[in-house]
Amino acid sequence: ILNVEQSPQSLHVQEGDSTNFTCSFPSSNFYALHWYRWETAKSPEALFVMTLNGDEKKKGRISATLNTKEGYSYLYIKGSQPEDSATYLCAFRSDSGGSNYKLTFGKGTLLTVNP
């Protein structure tokens, strides 16, 4: 079983603050790293799929970076808004044999943005 760790587990910020959180994954046999946003009572929705070391992706106020050599990805939210409140999941896809078809999820970072 692959180890995908997310930190912190939860985070409270004020509206307008910028914030970031971390996803750590195995640094060998990397294929892809996914980020999902999961609002309460809804389904996870994809934010980014990152495949290359040094990748940076951006969607509005949310951006992500990837370091496959050291096995981590950062998700940044600039100027947090209450509607950004959600659990942010990362998921790792390995490039080793049969596990290439499996996505291993971290337990998520729960972000609460206070107005």
Asked whether position 63 contacts other proteins by CB under 8 A, the answer is no
Other beta carbons within 10 Å of 11: 18
User: Rounded distance, CA 70 to CA 58, Å?
Assistant: 21
Asked whether position 34 contacts other proteins by CB under 8 A, the answer is yes
Out of 24, 29, 32, 72, which residue is the one contacting other proteins (CB under 8 A)?
A: 32
Burial zone of 1 (CB within 10 Å; 0-12 exposed, 13-18 middle, 19+ buried): exposed
Asked whether position 58 contacts other proteins by CB under 8 A, the answer is no
Residue with tokens 């790792």: 92
| CB-nearer residue toward other proteins: 42 or 70 | 42
Asked whether position 5 contacts other proteins by CB under 8 A, the answer is no
| CB-nearer residue toward other proteins: 15 or 46 | 46
Segment near other proteins (CB under 8 A); pick from 16-24, 34-42, 57-65, 70-78: 34-42
User: Rounded distance, CA 87 to CA 53, Å?
Assistant: 25
Asked whether position 89 contacts other proteins by CB under 8 A, the answer is yes
Segment near other proteins (CB under 8 A); pick from 20-28, 53-61, 65-73, 105-113: 105-113
Task: Give 54's DSSP letter.
Answer: T
Asked whether position 86 contacts other proteins by CB under 8 A, the answer is no
111: β partners:
11, 86
